């Protein structure tokens, strides 16, 4: 697994974790330009979905590359370039939960999963080394004929599974 550096700074991308070609192509362009596509100053140019909620610390936008099977897959992206939860500003966690709560109420989401990726990408499965959270919701198990785990549910690999 080859980790990519930008301008000799922190590791910013892990191309081996990309799921679709368009995602990998976009990241390769960002590597060449030496930019982080999740930084606030770059987001509108490098992320297709519009920002639907904006706070002092976070923005919420649809994931350009949603997980297969998700009904909703949105990102909360920290505006400043940080990579660890220990770097969060005071009040940023409260704001994130408030934004997600409002979002769920507006979309009438009855249940979802929230995942935050931070730190070493070799542990998290992240593609971008920029603090972000995801809110993902599928459909109810009641609405699936003969559910079979994991095929009929959204699953998230937490780090890497071992044999």
The per-residue pLDDT for range 13-47, each reduced to its tens digit, is 888 888 889 889 988 999 888 889 999 999 999 98
**61, exposed or middle or buried, with CB in 10 Å at 0-12, 13-18, 19+?**
buried
Predicted model pTM: 0.79
Q: Which numeric CATH code is attached to 4-143?
A: 3.30.428.10
Q: Where are the domains of the chain?
A: 4-143
pLDDT tens digits, 78-132: 999 999 999 999 999 999 999 999 999 999 988 888 999 888 888 888 888 999 9
Distance of CA 39 to the CA centre of its chain: 13
Upstream peptide bond of 150 is cis (omega within 30 degrees of 0):
yes
- State both tokens at 47: 């992320």
């Amino acid at each position: 697994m080859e980790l990519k550096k930008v301008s000799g700074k922190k590791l910013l991308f892990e191309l081996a974790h990309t799921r679709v070609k368009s995602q990998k192509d976009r990241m390769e362009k960002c590597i060449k330009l030496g930019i982080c596509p999740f930084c606030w100053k770059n987001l509108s140019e490098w992320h297709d979905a519009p920002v639907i909620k904006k706070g002092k610390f976070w923005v919420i936008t649809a994931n350009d590359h949603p997980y297969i099977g998700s009904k909703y897959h949105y990102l909360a992206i920290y505006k400043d370039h940080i990579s660890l939860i220990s770097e969060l500003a005071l009040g940023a966690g409260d704001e994130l939960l408030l934004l997600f709560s409002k979002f769920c109420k507006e979309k009438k989401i009855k249940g979802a999963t929230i995942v935050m990726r931070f730190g070493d990408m070799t542990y998290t499965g992240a593609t971008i080394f920029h603090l972000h959270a995801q809110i993902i919701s599928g459909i109810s198990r009641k609405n699936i004929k003969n559910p079979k785990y994991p095929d009929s549910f959204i699953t998230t690999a937490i780090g890497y599974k071992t044999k």
